[in-house]
Amino acid sequence: MSKVDVLLGLQWGDEGKGKVVDVLTPNYDVIARFQGGPNAGHTLEFNGMKHVLRTIPSGIFHQDKINVIGNGVLIEPRIFEQEIAALEEKGVDATRNLYISKKAHLILPSHRMLDAANEQAKGNAKIGSTLKGIGPAYTDKIARTGLRVGDLLASDFKERYELLKVQHLQTAHTLRFDIEGFRLEGMTLEAYEQQWLSAIETLKRFRLINSEYFINQCLRDGKKVLAEGAQGSMLDIDFGSYPFVTSSSTVTAGVCSGLGIAPSAIGRVMGITKAYCTRVGAGPFPTELFDETGRRLCELGHEFGSVTGRPRRCGWIDIPALRYACMLDGVTDLFVTKPDVMDEFEEVKMCTAYTIEGKETDELPFEFNNVHIEPVLRSFPGWKKPLAGTQRYTDLPEALRSYLDAIEQSTGVHIMAVSISPDRKDVLFK
């Protein structure tokens, strides 16, 4: 019986999960997404080509590997169809090696409308959602009113769809939302709905399965399974800076319910962190930099959302938050990305603790959103040379190695590898 290894983001998303999963895929037989949906944007680069995946696991470019969209994931058929088309353009036929759980829930066009309506109703307290309908679709799942992929095959699907849509329209109306004026990718709700309904046919071409049986059979057969997280632990519905979070369990526990495996079936947990920190959307970010250094991190790191194009907020690495994520996730191995972004920095800083109302702590307070947090910063000398071309971990500059050692010491987790460029080939295993 083999186990499911997990790879997930330890910060506020965009740590480089797509790249790392792509790098690790040759070691696995199955790559499975367990939560989130098209709010994710996972970037892969190789052979001079760049590709952003949304709902499809990042193992898809390895055509001999099975990719699974698990029951915990949300699928928006129209976005999914576009993803499939983009893969086809690159010569990838995903119908052969992509399996989809019948229990995965669907994002309706009206869920996306409700996402916009909810954000509008929040006024100044907006979450900064990617507006892909994530919150409303998970709301319906929990309220037991959602529609699932397997329902597409039922003869009364259209009636159930209409019923749910009417409920959504009523809610939007109650929120005084301008339904007529609403545009989805430049289209009215009705026009978009037509495209969405026809995209269902694309979805039906795939192998729709009871993925919990499939995954567990794979484990019994000794196959190696990698679970690919979306978002990051600090955006988790329970442990993130609520309500500035996404609506799913982004931590390791989410793998069990999102794929249908037992906790005892979890193997290694690989956690990814950038060598600094970013966040897109609203919510607390104790180490955020509003100065020239923050702007440099954004510019040199190309920190713009892969889904929305929004500039990401940037700051120093946050050890209290990282330790918290390592604790929640049971991280066994750390993967550090993007130190190359700071190649030219005179100094690099690390937040080792928080000062809240004059008291130092390394715990994230319940009042995370409402108290002023002053980061306690430790300074490290910069390495001031390009990392490009480095072949081995041991060839990394001494100054960077000291910085990485400090990350290991403060989290108590060893670093398994460092990534030094967006490209698949630039990963240095320790």
Q: What are phi and psi of 147, to 5 degrees?
A: -115, 140
- Which residue's entry shows tokens 């979450």? 127
Provide the minimum distance between the beta carbon of 338 and ligand GDP in the complex, in angstroms, as a whole number.
4
Residues 37-76, one symbol each (x = binds Mg ion by CB under 5 A, - = not), give: ----x-----------------------------------
The one catalytic residue among 14, 318, 340, 426:
14
The residue count for the chain: 430
Q: Please identify, using beta-carbon distances, which residue of 214 and 345 lies nearer to ligand GDP.
A: 345
For residue 191, count other CB atoms closer than 10 A to its CB. Answer: 14
For residue 170, count other CB atoms closer than 10 A to its CB. Answer: 10
Residues 303-342, one symbol each (x = binds Mg ion by CB under 5 A, - = not), give: ---x------------------------------------
Q: Please identify, using beta-carbon distances, which residue of 265 and 277 lies nearer to ligand GDP.
A: 277
| Best CA proximity match to 236, nearest among 205, 264, 271 | 271
Q: Does 424 bind ligand GDP (CB under 6 A)?
A: no
Provide the minimum distance between the beta carbon of 284 and ligand GDP in the complex, in angstroms, as a whole number.
20
Q: Report which DSSP code applies to 184.
A: B
Provide the minimum distance between the beta carbon of 327 and ligand GDP in the complex, in angstroms, as a whole number.
21
- For residues 201 and 220, give the distance between their C-alpha atoms in angstroms, rounded to a whole number: 33
Provide the minimum distance between the beta carbon of 302 and ligand IMO in the complex, in angstroms, as a whole number.
14
129 residue type, one letter? S
Q: Please identify, using beta-carbon distances, which residue of 17 and 216 lies nearer to ligand IMO.
A: 17
Candidate list 37, 38, 41, 260; residue touching ligand GDP; CB under 6 A: 41
Residues 130-159, one symbol each (x = binds ligand GDP by CB under 6 A, - = not), give: ------------------------------
For residue 15, count other CB atoms closer than 10 A to its CB. Answer: 28
**How distant, in Å, are the alpha carbons of 101, 254, 369 from that of 232?**
23, 12, 18
Structure-block tokens of residue 269: 């947990």
Q: Please identify, using beta-carbon distances, which residue of 127 and 209 lies nearer to ligand IMO.
A: 127
Task: Report 244-303 residues binding ligand GDP (CB under 6 A).
Answer: 302
SS3 25: helix
Cis peptide bond upstream of 286, omega within 30: no
- For residues 353 and 239, give the distance between their C-alpha atoms in angstroms, rounded to a whole number: 18
Provide the minimum distance between the beta carbon of 20 and ligand GDP in the complex, in angstroms, as a whole number.
8
Q: Does 14 bind Mg ion (CB under 5 A)?
A: yes
Q: Please identify, using beta-carbon distances, which residue of 52 and 200 lies nearer to ligand GDP.
A: 52
Task: Report 332-361 residues binding ligand GDP (CB under 6 A).
Answer: 337-338, 340-341
Check if 14 is active-site.
Answer: yes
Check if 62 is active-site.
Answer: no
Structure-block tokens of residue 392: 């081995």
145: which residues sit within 8 A by CB, 6+ positions away? 164, 167
Beta strands in 240-346 (DSSP E): 266-274, 277-279, 313-315, 317-318, 333-337
Residue positions annotated with a catalytic role:
14, 42
Please give the residue ranges that form the binding site for ligand GDP (CB under 6 A). 9, 13-19, 40-43, 45, 302, 306, 337-338, 340-341, 419-422
